[in-house]
Amino acid sequence: MRIRSLGYARIESTDPQQWLEFGTEVLGMMQSPSMPQDGDTVYLKMDNRPFRFAVFKGEKNRLSVSGWELVDRADFEGAKKELEAAGVSYENGSAADAAERKVQEFISLKDPSGNNLELYWGASLDYAKFISPKGLDGFQTGFNGDMGLGHVVLPCPNREEAFDFYHNILGVGETDYMSFPLSPNPEDPETGMHFMHVDNPRHHSLALFGAEMGDSGCIHIMIEVNNVDEVGYCLDRVKQKEIMITSSMGRHTNDRMLSFYMMTPAGFALEYGCEGLQMDWDDYTPTVSDLPSIWGHQFVG
């Protein structure tokens, strides 16, 4: 199986309009001009894909689904056969739901920790010019978006079982294993994370966090801008709007991302960064790390 990228995030929200303001006025994304605009659904655009974040009205605030892009129909059909051979159940998405996602076909399934995934092929390009309301010149998503929207970190209390699922069934590559304490208290246990890459140069598109973290369905999502000034401008906007900063500015060890973290309206964090590593997977050896950041990244909560 060959997953190309993290294509979209579907987010359930009790008030999608919170995400419209957060996405456009804080993150600098654009409300999609090619998608329906109503009070119950918000589509946020980052590049020449019609949207990357779809926020729909529901009873909870959470990441509902992460959508993973396959290269073409042959890969999609092959993926279904591989899932069936491994005894992994899935559901075929309806034509109407595929049209809403702007893809040709998709299937829905769960990982061993209960996180909802969708595998799809044939994403549309709307070629609508990205015009950020905050003046950003763009996000790091690759050519025609082939590097995806960024990365997602999912809660996986059964981390090793989840790693086996993603690595040996979905074909997601291993990048780095990191173990570190969650607090300064030496008596607190350490938590492990598997960082994993798909078929694009981004250092990791997925990480598996070895703990349960409430009902938000996500630890954090990362989006990447083109330079450090845009990170700083966003940090100013976050402070002006009194949004909770969940980590100060810092630079990570394994992917060298320069970033800070903020709380989203869905109750999970969002990492806003730049300068993340892009890798050559043909000549790469997975690493083991025990320090999350070179400097900074003082987490709260």
Q: CB-side exposure of 222: number of CA atoms within 13 Å?
A: 27
Alpha carbons 192 and 292: distance in angstroms, whole number: 11
What are residue 151's DSSP bridge partners?
222
Residue 189 has pLDDT above 70, yes or no: no
Domains 3-121 and 143-296 share a fold: yes
pLDDT at 211: 83
Taking the C-alpha atoms of residue 255 and residue 253, their distance in angstroms, rounded to an integer, is 6
The pLDDT value recorded for residue 301 is 63
Q: How far is CA 160 from the centre of its chain?
A: 20
For range 22-36, the mean pLDDT: 97
Mean pLDDT of 60-79: 97
Q: In the chain, where do the E strands start and end?
A: 3-13, 30-31, 41-45, 53-57, 62-70, 91-92, 105-110, 116-121, 151-155, 173-181, 190-197, 206-209, 220-224, 245-252, 258-263, 269-274, 287-289, 293-296
Is the pLDDT confidence value at 190 over 80? no
* Residue spans per domain, the chain: 3-121, 143-296
Identify the pLDDT of residue 161.
Answer: 97
Q: Residue 184: its pLDDT value, please?
A: 66
Whether this model's pTM surpasses 0.85:
yes
Smallest Cα–Cα separation from 139: which of 82, 223, 51, 196?
Answer: 223
What tokens were used for 233?
């401008």
Place of tokens 């008596």: 187
Does position 215 have pLDDT exceeding 90, yes or no?
Answer: no
- Domain 143-296, CATH: 3.10.180.10
According to the model, what pLDDT value does residue 212 have?
78
- Residue bearing tokens 């999970």: 268
Confidence of residue 213 (pLDDT cuts 50, 70, 90): confident
| Structure tokens belonging to residue 160 | 């090793």
Closest by alpha carbon to 53, among 19, 90, 88, 98? 19
pLDDT of residue 188: 67
Residues 6+ apart with CB under 8 A from 44: 19, 20, 23, 24, 27, 29, 30, 31, 32, 51, 52, 53, 54, 55
pLDDT tens digit sequence for 138-157: 999 999 999 999 999 999 99
Q: Region 189-195: what's the mean pLDDT?
A: 85
The CATH number given to 3-121 is 3.10.180.10
Using a 10 angstrom Cβ sphere, with 0-12 exposed, 13-18 middle and 19 or more buried, the burial of residue 292 is middle
* 251 burial type by CB count under 10 A (0-12 exposed, 13-18 middle, 19+ buried): middle
Return mean pLDDT, the chain: 95
State the average pLDDT over residues 25-29: 98
